[in-house]
Amino acid sequence: AKMKQAIPIEIIPLCKDDIFCLHPKQHSNLGCIGPLVVVISVGPHLRVMDWQRMEIHDLRSEVYFRQPGHSLQTIKNAIEYIVIDCNPTGLSVGQFLQAEVTLAKTSDLGSNDTQVTCLSHLGAILQAGDKVLGYDLNNAVFNDNVLQDWPKLVLPDVVIVKKVPPTRKKRTWKLRALIKEEEEGVYQSRLKGSRDEYEMFLNDIESDPNVRSNLNLYKDPTMWRVTEDGAVVHPAREEDREDVDVSLDEQLLDDLVLGEGDDDEPMEAARESSDDEDGK
């Protein structure tokens, strides 16, 4: 007899780049960091950072669920700023460097001279002229329950969580995913939001080695081709060569590509075929 087994799971309702307030007990157990922290990764443990003290700690799932917290802000609430000045403070932890950053809202440029200064853990990758995503906590609206454990907490004006990548080159890689059909009657704005989130995820893969370490990246068949001698080259179109990002090429796995004069076939099969011909 066929049997179906359902296993209920509970997922931590926090994502990378979210900010939230630790419960007082969590605050004490983690060396009194925060209490406002930013999530820098989600995996077997929830890795959080206090960017003001430059400390990183892992919050185990069982510890989190004893006093679960909710996001104060998520990446959907982020506003684009432009960096006016960036001065490292000298504090660092791992790949992160603290800096005092002067910002202005991109939307305010040309209309007013309002600037704000804040501490950021992204000082190693920021310089004047860069664009970043941050949370405007001065004008944000929160649920009172989120901050009820910290009535005297003074929130910073802005929290920077992500650098906006410059105009990117064409990717030579792709992810494998199940084909998803778009539902009828779904608003275009909602579909655009999903695409924007996916693009942001791809940008994270490009910029964060820790994210890449858990994923397989495959050569995009539209950007690679198998030549007559069995070599795999890119891009497929000569005019695209200068617009291609090759920084991750050594980490890519072979996928299906269109060989010259052949149907789609695996890259390895194309190479073997070429070797056989050379041996004759």
pLDDT tens, position by position, 164-186:
877 666 777 777 776 666 655 55
pLDDT tens, position by position, 86-119:
999 999 998 899 999 999 999 888 888 889 999 9
What separation in angstroms does the CA of 64 have from each of 18, 147, 216, 223, 230?
Answer: 15, 17, 29, 44, 53
pLDDT at 174: 75
Closest CA to 270 of 238, 239, 236, 224: 224
pLDDT at 188: 55
Residue 128 tokens read as 């004047």
Half-sphere exposure of 116 (CA within 13 A, CB side): 19
CA dist., res. 197 & res. 211, Å (int): 15
What are the 10-residue block averages of pLDDT along the chain, 280 residues in total? Answer: 82 90 90 91 89 93 88 91 95 93 90 91 93 92 78 91 78 71 57 70 75 76 71 57 59 57 44 46
pLDDT at 141: 81
CA geometry: angle 84, 196, 224, nearest 5 deg = 100
Q: What are the residues whose beta carbons fall under 8 Å from the beta carbon of 260, sequence distance 6 or more?
A: 225, 226, 227, 228
